[in-house]
Amino acid sequence: MADTINLTTTTTSSTLEPVFSFLAQALTTLETTFYKLPGSAVIQRYVKSSHQNDPGRTILELILVVFAIRTLLQSRTRADRTGSHFIQFNKKEIDELVDEWAPEPLGAPLTPSEQYDLHALPIVAGQNGVKPKLVSTGKTAVNLASLNFAGLAGNEYIKERAVETLRKYGLGSCGPPGFYGTLDVHMDLERDIADFLGTEASILYSQGFSTVSSVIPAFCKRGDIIVADRGVNFAIQKGIQISRSTVRWYDHNDLESLEAVLQSIEKDRKKRRGPLTRRFIITEGIFERDGAMVDLPKIIELKYKYKYRLLLDESYSFGAVGRTGRGLTEIYNVPASKVDMLIGSCAIGLCAGGGFCAGSNIVVDHQRINGPSFVFSAAMPALLAVSASEGINIFRSTPSIFETLQENVRAARAILDKVEYLTIPSHPASPLIHIQIKPAYSPAASTSNALSSPSSSSSVGTPAPLSPPPSTAGSLHPVSAAMLTPTKHTRDHHEKLLLHPEVIEAEERLLQEIVDECLSQNVMVTKAKRLRGQENVEARPGLKLAISAGLTRKEIEKAVGVVKAVCVKVLGRRK
Amino acid sequence: MALTKPSTPSIFKKKSTTSLSPMASAASYLSALSQADARAREQMNGSPTSTPALSISSSVTSSSEDTVLHEEDDNRDGLALPARPPTSEQVFTTVHTEFGHCANEKFRMTSQHTRGEPVPGHVDQDPPYYILLSTYISYLILIVLGHIRDFLGKRFRASSYHHLMPRDGYAPLNSDFDSFYTRRLKTRMDECFSQPVTGVAGRTIVLLDRMSPDYNHTQLFTGTRTRALNISSYNYLGFAQARGGCADAVEESIKRYGVSTCGSRLEGGSSDLHTISEALVAKFVGMEDALISSMGFATNSTFIPALVGKGCLVISDELNHASIRFGVRISGASVRMFKHNDMKALESLLREVISQGQPKTHRPWKKILVIVEGLYSMEGTLVNLPAIIELKKKYKFYLFVDEAHSVGAMGPHGRGVADYFGINPRKIDVLMGTFTKSFGAAGGYIAGSKTLIDRLRVHGHSGPYAEAMTPPVLIQVVASMASIMGVKPPQPHASSGGLRLTHAPPPVEEEYHHPGPAPHSALPLWLALPQELSLGTEGATRLRRLAFNSRYLHNGLIKLGFITYGHPASPIVPLLLFNPGKMCMFHRMMKDRQTPIIVVVVAYPATPLVTSRVRFCVSAAHTKEDIDTILQACDEVGDVLDLKHGIPRSERWTIDEISSRAVELAGMMK
Ligand SMILES: Cc1ncc(COP(=O)(O)O)c(C=O)c1O
């Protein structure tokens, strides 16, 4: 069907002439019959007057019709042969080219160190939780790696409820939410989340990681403006990439830089007098990349001042901080309704599965039709939804969990903050604690001479520099930021050095040594795993500790003590 | 197409009460009684005659504790109890509402490609012109009316347009232009979408009835429930069950492992279950290694970028799933599309892109990855795998097959399209699939060579960042897969009968030899599957029931005179409606029958504008009587809605003829 029409469009326009004359004739007959209809005069007058009031609208409608017809007729498979770069080959030449062509391998093998890291991964035998048994050692270890902030993993009551749900619903939902995949338990969980946070509604996605990368393209389209923190997590980066919106980055967790960007956009807009576009600020509550926490009230103030919408990813703060685990809005006592799209993870915060986006009814309903991974993916298993609901119930009934958690975090920080060799970019209240090697003790310090020769430093393409952590906030200042906040050349150079691939590799090896050594002392920790070369801004290597409320203070102190001792041993040896 | 051998073991087993879940005492008593009765008769005259049992049913159907949803046990809708009461020697282990009782061994087939037979491409059958014309006019009216309503509404009922207009310096989240289709077309038939349900998405499903007082702007629950025949869920093999061996295994896994592994695979969320299930999945699909991801969509969207990048080209079927497009777009590779399942178009595109090289620079492409689906979810077309494999030899591209809908559902052993065509899966570079469909679980896998999979583990986006798959889901996958494969008992020498194949020969170039049952060691040690699962008999029956049901429904619809799309062996059977107004009507008329049937209707943008359709997803859980019910309903509704534009009236069969010649019909080629 479409093909035949496509054919006619590609032939010369002369064949279309009779069609045009026919069309004109048809139009006139249509017009006369239209006038014969009773009441047509009213419509005619109406159209005329509306045309007078708003001629642009008529044109718009016309364009719309033309556009609709065009999309109808356009075949999606049409080859791009018309481009000026097309070279004509004959059959034999093509055959030769086909024979000559040799593709690269689909996947290059891992490097030895990647392979080593993959094999060194701790694998839990049986139930994961605060003290899992490991396959490699056969012993139980204290778990500072798995995300189990509130200690819900292995909760007997949740397990019981999960079994009950299994016996009512089976396991899989066997369909996307639009087509008989929406279960009552999904709606219950959506309501529970919205009530818990204090928003109008919420929507469930079947994977935490895919939530934000689906929410962003549901709202942000080509031409919209996104102002985002340079240090946002990978899922947000991908969401921004796929949205095709115009992105402006501001320095990691630096709200002055944010305001500067907002101002410059405002100036641009005034100058250009373009149409009003949707504008979004996208940031995280607790940053996955370093555990820093955003100053929510300040961001909200800026968002209202410059009329932006705020998308806040609370994947690592929901169920982790706040008096009852509601996340940043609770810490700062900001109504959650002021955050336009609040994203959280039921997999991380509630030890179940999936993610959610909470917001107004309009925001939520829009995603039910436009969120790619909501529309095109099966709904989450019923028993995970019920487990998540039970998690929220536990938060409501036993807020003491979060007191315990904060105590544990404080205990851990009290030990770690004192270690000479380490920097900790994480917020003091964050149960996600990143540990990095202090620049002075980094292999960069010793290799600096070797690497600072002009030839090698100029070859550093991808990695962006990192500012030495200022007393409190963020830790990354990418290259282009230099224009906004001029940094001294020497410092710049030093930062670049820390993110030199060789330095990163050397630090990774040291950290892996720490991980292995901790494991042999039955403390499970993990490096912050990264997709080097694929991230927006390279992060410094580090360890990622996840503190749980399920451990007692004593246990935390003991386990973190082990980490400290190992760090001192491994890093101190180098001096 | 091989017709059924009546000797194949089936899903119901004879005389074994050991693994029956605890039943309501009356039911178990009755079934025990009927068994005793049968045994006695067997001894008397040697040949058991099939007499109806004493009770309404000797099966688990009558145990009311089985599902929450059995308030209405009166069977007025004909769904709760089998049409034909089971005979005395039949003991079914499934709940009839979840997995229908069907003992007739004639209603079984094998899903297999006959070598040498051409693979049907995708044929669009056009309806009469007046249908096309009225379809276009319908859309025109809808669009014009919609615009008039918008135009007037904005002036007279501005408050309901607030969220579509710029306000206080904020651009609307959703401009009226972008949302026009949703507001003015989709809202009109919202009753067909997002219907909330409860209970198991098995053979039947329970709807939470709703109504809208304000033209679908809000939906209110009436508080009542309706059980309906479910021909909509992706439950191909019928593993959506709250009872039975798989569910028992899942329960055990929750007790042993909890519901989460707390973290991503690379950061403290790996469990021994992941290792076990990945090995089993690799074995199942016949690849060297596999990895599992907690969401099917994310399997594509996070691993395709690890396969290709800048300087690479992806050649994608035009009807590929949104998750594939998402992944390809993120990867930064160039994309070209070819006409759906058209191998000529693919070849000419390949010749063009290889000879032209990268745009502007004309440098050769680093890699070319052809991405196709095994079975297309809206069309029911089966990929022409033999032809693609031929092309692959010549053009040296890499091949990625998304088997979301075909794994489990196609092939004599349920291993997907490669199995269906008898092609060695190792000839495909990357096999991807999901567990949401045939296995009644969630998530997806990607399988390939060990080097490749290891690379994806480390460089795919999911590894470090996405949550790992949870233990209950893993065990559902393991148990359902193992029950399809069958499990070799621990002692290999104690074999009996021909069921157990010994070690398969190493993969041969052309012919594909099925590797046989999984070794016992491939399952978790604690997992004790009931015998009918570990022998693989139940799995085999499921595959054969699905194959029969698919062909029967497909050919039945054609014989009734409908226009359908897709491969006759496909469990996805689209029935063309064309007119948008008919979608809602079809949906409602099917739902309001005495035996309510729920269907999925799809329209633009999921399909081309004119070819609105209803999509049936056949399941092994359906009985032949269920398919009859559906055909009967379609027959009646089709007459009312003027849908029969396929074959001419003289070639059509009556519904009774179809029902009585079902086996013959299912065996017919299109
Ligand atoms: C071809 C294809 N790929 C991937 C998916 C996504 O799978 P899931 O629903 O498990 O996320 C689907 C599901 O609809 C599909 O049809």
The mean predicted confidence, pLDDT, of chain B is 83
Pocket lining: B444 vs ligand 1, CB cutoff 6 Å: yes
A:115-144 residues touching chain B, CB 8 A cutoff: 115, 117-118, 121-129, 135, 143
Contact (CB, 8 A) for A465 and A479:
yes
What is the pTM assigned to this prediction? Answer: 0.84
Q: What is the pLDDT of residues A8-49, one digit of tens each?
A: 333 444 455 566 666 667 666 766 666 666 556 665 665 565
Q: Please indicate, yes or no, whether residues A220 and A289 belong to a single structural domain of this protein.
A: yes
pLDDT of residue A575: 56
What is the number of CB-based contacts under 8 A between chain A and chain B? 397
Contacts of B128 in chain A (CB under 8 A): none
Contacts of A2 in chain B (CB under 8 A): 608
First to last CA, chain B: 12
Q: Where are the domains of chain B?
A: 1-241+541-670, 267-473
Subunit contact B262:A146, Cβ cutoff 8 A: yes
Boundary residue ending a domain (A397, A413, A431): A397
Q: Please indicate, yes or no, whether residues A133 and A273 belong to a single structural domain of this protein.
A: no
**Residue A572 banded pLDDT, cuts 50, 70, 90:** confident
Contacts of A279 in chain B (CB under 8 A): 171
Instruction: Check residues B76 and A555 and name the one with the higher pLDDT.
Output: A555
pLDDT at A523 over 90: yes
A:505-564 residues touching chain B, CB 8 A cutoff: 524, 526, 528-531, 534, 544, 546
Q: Please indicate, yes or no, whether residues A160 and A251 belong to a single structural domain of this protein.
A: yes
Q: Please indicate, yes or no, whether residues A190 and A288 belong to a single structural domain of this protein.
A: yes
Altogether, the residues listed in chain B come to a count of 670
pLDDT of residue A55: 58
Where do the DSSP E strands lie in A142-245? 142-143, 201-205, 225-229
| CA B627 – CA B552 distance, rounded (Å) | 8
Q: How far is B196 from chain A (nearest CA, A)?
A: 5
CATH of the domain at A437: 3.90.1150.10
| CA A315 – CA A301 distance, rounded (Å) | 22
CATH code reported for the domain at B267-473: 3.40.640.10
Pocket lining: A568 vs ligand 1, CB cutoff 6 Å: no
pLDDT at B9 over 50: no
Q: What is the pLDDT of residues A141-168, one digit of tens each?
A: 999 999 999 999 989 999 999 999 999 9
Residue A170 lies in a domain: yes
User: At the fourth CATH level, which superfamily is domain B1-241+541-670?
Assistant: Aspartate Aminotransferase, domain 1 (3.90.1150.10)
Q: Please indicate, yes or no, whether residues A271 and A312 belong to a single structural domain of this protein.
A: yes
Beta bridge partners of A282: A228, A311
CA of B407 to the centre of ligand 1 (A): 12
| CA B573 – CA B614 distance, rounded (Å) | 8
CA of B159 to the centre of ligand 1 (A): 39
pLDDT of residue B128: 85
pLDDT of residue B639: 92
Is A76 touching B (CB cutoff 8 A)?
yes
CA of B324 to the centre of ligand 1 (A): 9
Reference A548, options A77, A147, A69; nearest CA is A147
Q: Please indicate, yes or no, whether residues A243 and A176 belong to a single structural domain of this protein.
A: yes
B:598-637 residues touching chain A, CB 8 A cutoff: 598, 600, 608-610
pLDDT of residue B489: 79
Instruction: Check residues B306 and B18 and name the one with the higher pLDDT.
Output: B306
Beta bridge partners of A356: A204, A344
**Residue B634 banded pLDDT, cuts 50, 70, 90:** very high
| CA B10 – CA B100 distance, rounded (Å) | 13
Is B511 touching A (CB cutoff 8 A)?
no
Q: Please indicate, yes or no, whether residues A251 and A361 belong to a single structural domain of this protein.
A: yes
CA of B234 to the centre of ligand 1 (A): 10
Residue A447 lies in a domain: yes
Of A448-457, B444-453, B544-553, the range with the lowest mean pLDDT is A448-457
Is B168 touching A (CB cutoff 8 A)?
yes
pLDDT of residue B462: 92
Residue A87 lies in a domain: no
**Residue B56 banded pLDDT, cuts 50, 70, 90:** very low
Across B283-300, average pLDDT: 93
Subunit contact A168:B199, Cβ cutoff 8 A: yes
Residue A539 lies in a domain: yes
Contact (CB, 8 A) for A173 and A181:
yes
pLDDT of residue A11: 40
pLDDT at A546 over 70: yes
Percent of chain A with pLDDT over 70: 77
**Residue A94 banded pLDDT, cuts 50, 70, 90:** confident
Residue A50 lies in a domain: no
Altogether, the residues listed in chain A come to a count of 575
pLDDT of residue B35: 53
Q: Please indicate, yes or no, whether residues A524 and A540 belong to a single structural domain of this protein.
A: yes
Closest CB from A107, A348, A373 relative to B297? A373
Shortest-distance atom of ligand 1 to CA B442:
10
Could you check whether the bond before residue B605 is cis, i.e. omega within 30 degrees of 0?
yes
pLDDT at B450 over 70: yes
pLDDT at A76 over 90: no
Contact (CB, 8 A) for A301 and A249:
no
**Residue A490 banded pLDDT, cuts 50, 70, 90:** low
Boundary residue ending a domain (A373, A397, A421): A397
Is B229 touching A (CB cutoff 8 A)?
no
Q: SS3 for B234?
A: coil
Across B436-460, average pLDDT: 93
Residue A26 lies in a domain: no
Residue A370 lies in a domain: yes
| CA A305 – CA B29 distance, rounded (Å) | 74
Q: Please indicate, yes or no, whether residues A130 and A160 belong to a single structural domain of this protein.
A: no
Sign of the Cα pseudo-torsion (B155, B156, B162, B163, in order): negative
Residue A106 lies in a domain: no
Across B625-645, average pLDDT: 92
CA of B322 to the centre of ligand 1 (A): 8
Contacts of B166 in chain A (CB under 8 A): 276
Q: What is the pLDDT of residues B161-202, one digit of tens each?
A: 777 778 778 888 877 777 888 888 888 888 889 899 999 999
Boundary residue ending a domain (A345, A365, A397): A397
Pocket lining: B434 vs ligand 1, CB cutoff 6 Å: yes
**Residue A454 banded pLDDT, cuts 50, 70, 90:** very low
| Segments forming the whole domain that contains residue A207 | 156-397
pLDDT at A424 over 90: yes
Pocket lining: B433 vs ligand 1, CB cutoff 6 Å: no
Across B112-117, average pLDDT: 77
pLDDT at A422 over 70: yes
pLDDT of residue A478: 38
Q: Please indicate, yes or no, whether residues A117 and A176 belong to a single structural domain of this protein.
A: no
Q: What is the pLDDT of residues A48-63, one digit of tens each?
A: 655 555 555 666 666 6
pLDDT of residue B375: 93
The ipTM, to two decimals, is 0.85
pLDDT at B42 over 60: no
Where do the DSSP E strands lie in B212-341? 220-230, 289-293, 313-317, 334-338
CATH of the domain at A204: 3.40.640.10
> How many separate domains does chain A show?
2
Q: What is the pLDDT of residues B57-110, one digit of tens each?
A: 334 433 334 444 444 456 677 787 777 777 766 777 788 888 888 878 888 888
Q: What is the pLDDT of residues A207-224, one digit of tens each?
A: 999 999 999 999 998 889
* Residues in CB range of B274: below 8 A, 6 or more apart: A123, B261, B265, B292, B468, B469, B474
pLDDT of residue A82: 53
Tokens of A51: 């045309």
Across A439-443, average pLDDT: 82
Residue A338 DSSP one-character state:
G
pLDDT of residue B271: 92
**Residue A459 banded pLDDT, cuts 50, 70, 90:** very low
Q: What is the pLDDT of residues B497-542, one digit of tens each?
A: 444 444 444 444 555 667 778 888 888 888 888 888 888 888 999 9
Q: Please indicate, yes or no, whether residues A377 and A458 belong to a single structural domain of this protein.
A: no
Contact (CB, 8 A) for A345 and A205:
no
Is A274 touching B (CB cutoff 8 A)?
no
**Number of CB atoms found within 10 A of residue B405's CB:** 29
Q: What is the pLDDT of residues B294-330, one digit of tens each?
A: 999 999 999 999 999 999 999 999 999 999 999 999 9
Closest CB from A117, A182, A534 relative to B194? A182
pLDDT of residue A406: 94
